[in-house]
Chain A
Amino acid sequence: MDRNRLHNQVASMRRSLFDQLEELQDDTNPNFVQEVVTLFYNDSTRLIQNIEQALNSRPIDFCKLDDYMHQFKGSSSSIGAKKVTNECTAFREYCNAENAEGCIRSFQQVKQEHAILKRKLEVYLQTVRQASQTA
């Protein structure tokens, strides 16, 4: 059945994407993962924009950059986005060294990984919505 299929899809996506978050979701809050994902999605987009802005400004404020990236790293790691988190770590290293070039390059990586993650999240959210609609 379509609904079941969708549900299964959602479940499997969720499992693959967020193993820990999955555990947190339970009957009392069935939309937990969805909420968290949405939150992260919005929040991270905002952060990426801030970082981009900071990188483009001259002179580059490494402190602020580090702050942003720290926050980004925190939330992406909390949600379980490993690749994004790794890129963030690399970025912060460049940041600490105040290596503008390195930062920019690293940031590209971060953005790339984040874009991939976003796509996956979008699909996930879409599936969830579909599942709830058909339910």
Chain B
Amino acid sequence: MNVSSVKGSMSISSSTSTWKAGDTISDQFPAGLRVLVVDDDPTCLMILEKMLTACLYKVTKCNRAETALSKLRENKNGYDIVLSDVHMPDMDGFKLLEHIGLEMDLPVIMMSADDGKQVVMKGVTHGACDYLIKPVRIEALKNIWQHVVRKRKNEWKEFEQSGSVEEGDRQPKQSDDADYSSSANEGNWKGSKRRKDEEEETDERDDTSTLKKPRVVWSVELHQQFVAAVNQLGIDTVPKKILELMNVPGLTRENVASHLQKYRLYLRRLSGVSQHQSNLSTIISAQDPTFGSLSSLSGLDLQTLAATGQLPAQSLARLQAAGLGRATAKSGIPITLVDQRNIFSFENPKLRFGEGQQQHMTNKQQVNLLHGIPTTMEAKQLVSLRHAAQSVGNMNMQVPPPGPQSSQNNPLLMQMGQQQQQQQSRGQILVDSTINHAPRLSSMGQPILSNGMATNVSSRNGIPENIRAPGYSQTPSMLNFPMNHASELPGNCFPLGSTPGVSNLTSKGAFQEDVNSEIKGSGGFMPSYDVFNDLNQHKPQSWELQNVGIAFDSSQHSNSLQGNLDLTQSALGQQGFSSGQMNGHNRSAAVASKAVFSTGDVKELRSAQNVNQHLNNLLVDNTIRVKSERVCDTSPANIFPDHFGQDDLMSALLKQQESVASSENEFDFDGYSMNNIPV
């Protein structure tokens, strides 16, 4: 795949859009980087603006935090990075940082004349990318672009990882990402994931329910209401209750769910990254209770998926048509995935229900979910996706079809979306199953899941999703979600909130959140596709990655990133979900959950070559041995839902987006080698 080349060109084009200076360097970036600087001191503001302009950045200045926030909200894709002073009269700089992280997930650099250790530490814990001491020298500003690239890269990588089975070359990238994301950028990733989730969430919401739901903007007031409700109900509450308590007309449970996920991640981050790991473990255990919320999410996911599901459906259709093949029809597949997902999502968000059901549901459903995302998931993949992706699928859906996000990324996102969906569905299933452990899984018993999955897979459509993993069979049982709802992504799908819509998940467990956040952060699709990639047995999911990469690149410079992010977010969300649960089975989870996997699952995911495995792992303590359906190494579309569920979907989606063409073939996930669940 020529992701890199595509990326390069894309990035170049996008980055040079603003600055045509004769930068002989191929990539004119960082020139034209859109910076928003906030400082109440007019002297400093003026000097900063001048310095930034001298660095060839495109500067917007505000002297009030509120103004900055409103600017960011009206134009979510309008800025690449934010520079904010710490001491401001109307709002504390850290508070602004939080808001930006929750809502837009942009890299934020804090500035202050104060160089005390506490303050700098505060910046770190709140998620700031960097902290500059005043007087700020122009040399320090010259390098701020690195934060933008890094963030995007992480997200992208995560995405890729999950879904990049296609390309061998991607794999190394993935592994890098995995390491990187899991360890280094947890904060960032989560932040980005969160943002992605947010974006995706909103996007998906748009897509799912009415195919154009008004995006919900989490304004300060709304967020405060939300926080008040959460404080009253306790952080472990369910979105539904929060929604009721908030009593805001027009707000849906999905909105609350995804936001809750992000918020939990955010809180987790505040309490210390180190705790993350422990939290994750606790969260996982606590997942059960949280599952409830997840389930709700999953439903949402499905919906979103459904909404976005055009892709999946299409992709599914394509997949099916193509046989094992290739999800060439990116759009088609997603739709199918969506369908599947929808089926799953309803019942048990948590359970991999999706998987089992998905199979039955037939890709159509899934597709619906992914509508936006041209998941070129091959039939096989779809099937597998369904299994695993139930959750993943949801995730994919989450990845708001690029449409809403950014037209630019749409194609890419679409692709990715599809993939993601596939993955998602897979992931979801996995995720769901894992997440919904409590409700469903628990009852079902993990072993069931795996068995179910396996059986489901096979029984499903007979799609060649070689879901070998016994896990699959479980899924069906587990997933007996009433998949009827496409919209309801099986709560499992990403309780982690990886799915954009699944913000609820975040609260679920540290893990979940991580997953979600990760998923979200990662640019969405990457993860999902990774899953798929894994499935394809190491087929270089370059397709996905490429997509992601491409999407990423382009988005970098343009607002398209948003789209990607959205996808990623959703993908991540889904993936994260599944991965979290799957413990790395889900590659997709790995992708998304770079952060999520902090609990270690992530690690597994990373290696998610066998995304399936990961997914499975996640789900059922390895009970779900969804054999990574080796759908076929050929087609990336073989995203086995089981494994990839989330990651794959995400990555798939991403990939799709990026390289519609390439992704198709790459998507061969044969990978679901559930057996290799790296537990």
Contacts and interface: CB of A to CB of B under 8 A. Distances in A.
B40 A36 contact: no
B44 A78 contact: yes
B43 A36 contact: yes
B41 A74 contact: yes
A24 B138 contact: yes
Contacts of B41: 43, 71, 74-75, 78
B136 A67 contact: no
Interface string A10-40: 0000000000110110100100100110011
B51 interface: yes
B276 to A, nearest CB: 32
B182 interface: no
A67 B40 CA distance: 12
A39 B112 CA distance: 19
A32 B50 contact: yes
A6 interface: no
Interface in B30-59: 40-44, 46-48, 50-51, 54
A73 interface: yes
Interface centre among B41, B42, B134 (most CB of A within 10 A): B41
Contacts of A40: 43
Given A24-B50, A71-B87, A43 B113 contact: no
A77 interface: yes
Contacts of B134: 73-74, 77-78
Interface residues on B, range: 20 to 34
Contacts of B46: 35-36, 39
B113 A77 contact: yes
Interface string A55-85: 0000000000001001101110111100000
Contacts of B113: 70, 73-74, 77
Given A24-B50, A36-B47, A78-B47, A71 B40 contact: yes
B122 interface: no
B43 A39 contact: yes
Nearest to B87: A70
A67 B114 CA distance: 11
B137 interface: yes
Interface string B107-139: 000001110000000000000000000111110
Interface residues of A, number: 23
A24 B54 contact: yes
A94 to B, nearest CB: 16
B170 to A, nearest CB: 43
A117 B43 CA distance: 15
Contacts of A21: 47
A78 B140 CA distance: 13
A39 B42 contact: yes
Contact of B43 (A23, A32, A43, A67): A43
A71 B137 CA distance: 17
A67 B87 CA distance: 8
Interface centre among A70, A74, A77 (most CB of B within 10 A): A74
A39 B44 CA distance: 10
Contacts of B138: 20, 23-24
Given A67-B87, A70-B114, A71-B40, A77 B135 contact: yes
A29 B50 contact: yes
Contacts of B54: 23-24, 26
A77 B112 CA distance: 11
Contacts of A43: 41-43
A78 B87 contact: no
Given A77-B134, A78-B134, A24 B51 contact: yes
Contacts of B135: 20, 74, 77-80
Contacts of A74: 41, 44, 85, 87, 112-113, 134-135
A74 B40 CA distance: 11
Nearest to A25: B50
Interface string B644-672: 00000000000000000000000000000
A74 B42 CA distance: 11
A39 B85 CA distance: 18
Contacts of B44: 74-75, 78
B56 to A, nearest CB: 12
A26 B54 CA distance: 9
Contacts of A26: 54
A78 B43 contact: yes
A32 B54 CA distance: 12
A54 to B, nearest CB: 15
A44 B41 CA distance: 10
A36 B46 CA distance: 7
Nearest to B115: A89
A129 B85 CA distance: 33
Nearest to A40: B43
A78 B136 contact: yes
Contacts of A32: 50
Interface in A39-56: 39-40, 43-44
A118 B669 CA distance: 71
B448 to A, nearest CB: 60
Contacts of A70: 87, 112-114
Interface centre among B114, B134, B135, B138 (most CB of A within 10 A): B135
A8 B46 CA distance: 25
Interface string B79-119: 00000010100000000000000000000000011100000
Contacts of B43: 36, 39-40, 43-44, 75, 78-79
A32 B135 CA distance: 17
Contacts of A80: 135
Nearest to A41: B43
Contacts of B114: 70
Contacts of B112: 70, 74
A24 B49 CA distance: 10
B87 A79 contact: no
Interface centre among B48, B51, B85, B113 (most CB of A within 10 A): B113
Nearest to B88: A71
Contacts of B51: 24
Nearest to B41: A75
A29 B41 CA distance: 20
Contacts of A73: 113, 134
A22 B85 CA distance: 23
A47 to B, nearest CB: 9
Contacts of A36: 43, 46-47, 50
Interface in A121-135: none
Contacts of A39: 42-43, 46
16 contacts: A26-B54, A29-B50, A36-B43, A36-B50, A39-B43, A39-B46, A43-B41, A43-B42, A44-B43, A70-B87, A71-B40, A73-B113, A73-B134, A74-B112, A75-B44, A78-B48
Interface of A: 20-21, 23-24, 26, 29, 32, 35-36, 39-40, 43-44, 67, 70-71, 73-75, 77-80
In order of increasing CB-CB distance, the 5 nearest A-B pairs are A74-B113, A75-B43, A77-B135, A40-B43, A78-B135
Given A67-B87, A70-B112, 7 more contacts: A36-B43, A36-B47, A43-B41, A44-B43, A73-B134, A74-B44, A78-B136
